């Protein structure tokens, strides 16, 4: 099989060793139409303001089009809701099919 070509330079790239992740975590995207039932929720209380600023930086996608402005409200409300599920100001839901290993219960939120 030929080596992949860099789209910008046109040069061939060398492939590294095959990676096999231990876990695959699925992020809940805003376009999903079912009620999220996450396997775990990450506390993002300290990062929520930065997340919202980062999304607003995409002004032409989320701020200028009237039809997309509700996405910002939905993202904020979602973070607040999932945070409330773990006793935090804000949370980010994830799903995994594989079991997640813990070394202890001291890091669990609530």
The single-letter DSSP state of residue 47 is: G
At residue 7, the pLDDT reads: 78
- What is the mean pLDDT for each group of 10 consecutive residues in the chain (110 residues)? 77 82 81 77 96 92 87 92 95 90 81
What CA–CA distances, in Å, run from 15 to 8, 12, 24?
Answer: 17, 10, 22
At residue 69, the pLDDT reads: 84
Would you state the structure tokens that stand for residue 13, as one six-digit string? 């790239």
CB neighbourhood size of 101 (10 A): 7
At residue 64, the pLDDT reads: 87
Q: Where are the domains of the chain?
A: 40-95
At residue 32, the pLDDT reads: 61
Exposure string over 72-96, b if 16+ CB within 10 A, otherwise e? eeebeebbeebbeebebebbbbbee
At residue 90, the pLDDT reads: 97
């Amino acid at each position: 099989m030929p080596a992949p070509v860099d789209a910008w330079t046109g040069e061939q790239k060398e492939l590294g060793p095959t990676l096999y992740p231990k876990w695959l975590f699925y992020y809940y995207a805003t376009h999903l139409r079912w009620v999220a039932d996450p396997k775990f929720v990450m506390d993002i209380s300290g990062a929520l303001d930065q997340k919202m600023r980062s999304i607003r930086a995409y002004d032409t996608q989320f701020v200028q089009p009237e039809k997309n402005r509700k996405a910002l409200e939905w993202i904020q409300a979602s973070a607040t809701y999932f945070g409330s599920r773990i006793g935090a100001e804000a949370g980010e839901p994830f799903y995994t099919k594989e079991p997640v290993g813990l070394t202890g219960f001291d890091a669990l939120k609530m």
